[in-house]
Chain A
């Protein structure tokens, strides 16, 4: 018998308890085991994996094996929802190219590599990421960069809810998220450090941000290209005009984002930006009686 997740999937869950309806309750399973291995081809420092039908655990084992072999580029073809790609990988000169839509928790706990997604991405990308770069050529889902401490995430399209939640900075580590499109509610919730830039490119009929922006925010900064209404803000933040230092930083980051995504930086920078920052680093300092 094989250990851990395989055994969970393959073993029965014991004597079924039938409810009053007499129907056996559904059991949680982790889906089909998938193929044993993806087809790997190597060309110098570059490796390809055909990930069609390969279960994530196997796929990630193969990626780690190739990284261990010293491959500097790992191309993943036919990706379709495999989770945890790049999870916990520490490597400085590694690029993972994802062709297809990766599953949740892409680049979670990642430390160093570059991940380029040629399509949309799902939820939880760059979860607790330490270092590295994640580029998404399409849209990304909810909770991008949860607890992210370093590195950069460049999403060309739109993102979902709670993006940049509890992002934090420390010493040399300074996380950056740049979103080309629009974002939904709770952008920068609990944010404790780092920078986020929302460009709001695309459909101009929709508001570029949802509500509750920066709720609980107590560090870091958000720059938004375009206007944000007071009712969209959490009570811990306000919108102010960027300082010349902010403007220089915006230019630097937007220029890099546009380079990566082949956009015209001058055009993107031609519109004014607003700066969202917290009132205090101690939002709950006066909440308690001692």
Chain B
């Protein structure tokens, strides 16, 4: 029987034949092999391969290409949607687990979009951030329980801090880059992120794929990750980073490991991960030396011992018991707790996990912050909130809910050309981002990418400063955990109670 499928194409590629100049650029640009040229050099599309990534549309010199949703009608059913029907057909054909990329596309409640910020009026003056200093600088790391200040030699001289502080990561803006491994993304993406992190005064994160030698000049702005597969992890790697992150979980796929398919393990990825070319890179679901908080403490301190006591971040996916888990993580000695909400992105995850496991970052921030405060240990670790941070507004709200800083990943890729087609796992990314195919990866010029990412961070930082001015504070520190400056619109009472935010219209 010939291969046939019930799954009709999701998109239709329409070519304006009058406008088309038969240059063949679409054929060249498409990483999915949608196009071939017919005998008359006319590009002919295979609609079924189109991911709607718009690479061809963007680069068509004649502006002759349009991508449309396939208007093919299905008998409507809210329950058995056309998407579900297609998923069943695909699985009936292959017997495989459905894979996807990026964050969930399901229409879950977006709590950030139901939170509104306060502003100053009449009795409490707002601040103009264009004319007055506005402090966005953020320090991540363990803060002391108390500080001791001395004055000169006891003779009333200038004050100085007597308390020895733990090492801190200094961010010029409360944004860090989320972990995205070389392997899931291209080396040029890593180069761009490293340059942008340096230019923006913040940190990129290697993800679990090792650190390519080209990134060594940027190591003061790099957080290196140690995950369950221990790919590319060795003493020099741990030493190279400004801090080390232990990845326990990822918001998009809590509780499961990662499989980087052998096709993506080319020579460069092989060198950086320190595994042979072509083998699958399997990251087990758990770290097999961590079965308890005590075991986590053991790894945290193993890393501290191996690095001369650099800050250690622990990244966990936001799950139902996140507050208790975070408390354990802090008590285990983490300097930073990186919370990754269930809307976070991924290079590849089973769709069922991405779309159905975990809890939103907004709730996780609030309950973790509250738990650590209640237990009197909030100062012992900084909270970085990630997994569903899409804009500067989300960052401001996350910080008001209790985060110290936010981690962003997808938005950085979008800045570099990603059109969120959710096909990262295929390794065919036409934009040269989530692929290792050299003809595709060379499309992303690292310096161009770095400039775009730096622009985004600069723009967001200005926006954050604008909001701070409107709220009437001159430092991000003053907004941190200040839930009183948030109000909810359209959230239910239970959610408002859990996140500690009042209904809009309720005064102080």
Contacts and interface: CB of A to CB of B under 8 A. Distances in A.
Contacts of B142: 4
Q: Which of A15, A128, A284, A287 has the most CB of B within 10 A?
A: A128
B217 interface: no
Contacts of B165: 3
Contact of A1 (B164, B236, B238, B239): B164
A214 to B, nearest CB: 14
A104 B298 CA distance: 8
A42 interface: no
Given A5-B301, A13-B376, 12 more contacts: A15-B376, A28-B297, A30-B297, A83-B305, A111-B234, A143-B289, A146-B288, A146-B289, A170-B274, A287-B96, A288-B96, A288-B98
B99 A219 contact: no
Interface in A66-117: 83-84, 87-90, 104-105, 108-111
Given A285-B280, A287-B97, A11 B301 contact: no
A283 interface: yes
A191 B500 CA distance: 47
Contacts, number: 174
A171 B275 CA distance: 8
Contacts of B166: 3-4, 7
Contacts of B235: 88-90, 109-111, 130
A285 B97 CA distance: 11
Interface in B96-127: 96-99
Interface residues of A, number: 65
Contacts of A13: 375-377
Contacts of B279: 192, 218-219, 281-282
Q: Which of A12, A15, A28, A162 has the most CB of B within 10 A?
A: A28
A7 B229 CA distance: 32
Please give me the 5 A-B residue pairs with the lowest Cβ-Cβ distance, nearest first.
Answer: A14-B376, A88-B306, A289-B96, A147-B230, A289-B94
A166 B374 CA distance: 40
Contact of B229 (A123, A166, A170, A193): A166
Interface string B172-185: 00000000000000
A189 B259 contact: no
B333 A8 contact: yes
Interface residues of B, number: 64
Contacts of A128: 230, 233-234
A168 B97 contact: no
A190 B230 CA distance: 12
B425 interface: yes
Nearest to B166: A3
A253 B236 CA distance: 28
B282 A281 contact: no
Given A286-B96, A288-B99, A289-B97, A84 B282 contact: no
B145 interface: yes
A165 interface: yes
A107 B389 CA distance: 40
12 contacts: A4-B304, A7-B166, A8-B380, A83-B305, A105-B298, A108-B305, A109-B234, A166-B284, A193-B276, A218-B279, A219-B276, A288-B96
B262 interface: yes
Contacts of B301: 5, 83-84
A193 to B, nearest CB: 7
Contact of B99 (A7, A12, A193, A290): A290
Interface in A38-87: 56-57, 60, 83-84, 87
Contacts of B93: 289
A28 B293 contact: yes
Nearest to B331: A28
Contacts of B275: 168, 170, 192-193
B492 interface: no
Contacts of B331: 27-28
B148 interface: yes
A216 B286 CA distance: 14
A230 B262 CA distance: 29
Interface in A250-290: 281-290
A32 B392 CA distance: 46
B13 to A, nearest CB: 20
B309 interface: yes
Nearest to B91: A289
B305 A218 contact: no
B276 A170 contact: yes
B278 interface: yes
B6 to A, nearest CB: 14
Interface string B478-507: 000000000000000000000000000000
Contacts of A5: 301, 304, 333
A238 interface: no
Nearest to A143: B289
A161 to B, nearest CB: 9
B454 interface: no
Contact of B261 (A147, A168, A192, A285): A285
B305 A147 contact: no
B421 interface: no
Interface in A105-163: 105, 108-111, 123-124, 127-128, 130, 143, 146-147, 149, 162
A166 B288 contact: yes
A76 B270 CA distance: 38
A21 interface: no
Nearest to A287: B97
A86 to B, nearest CB: 10
A173 interface: yes
B219 interface: no
Contacts of A109: 233-235, 238, 302, 306
B305 A14 contact: no
A147 B274 contact: no
B66 interface: no
A28 to B, nearest CB: 5
A288 B280 CA distance: 13
B426 interface: yes
Q: Which of A1, A83, A130 has the most CB of B within 10 A?
A: A1
B61 interface: no
B55 interface: no
Given A130-B235, A147-B230, A282 B274 contact: no
A2 interface: yes
Contacts of B425: 290
Interface string B257-288: 00101100000001000111011101010001
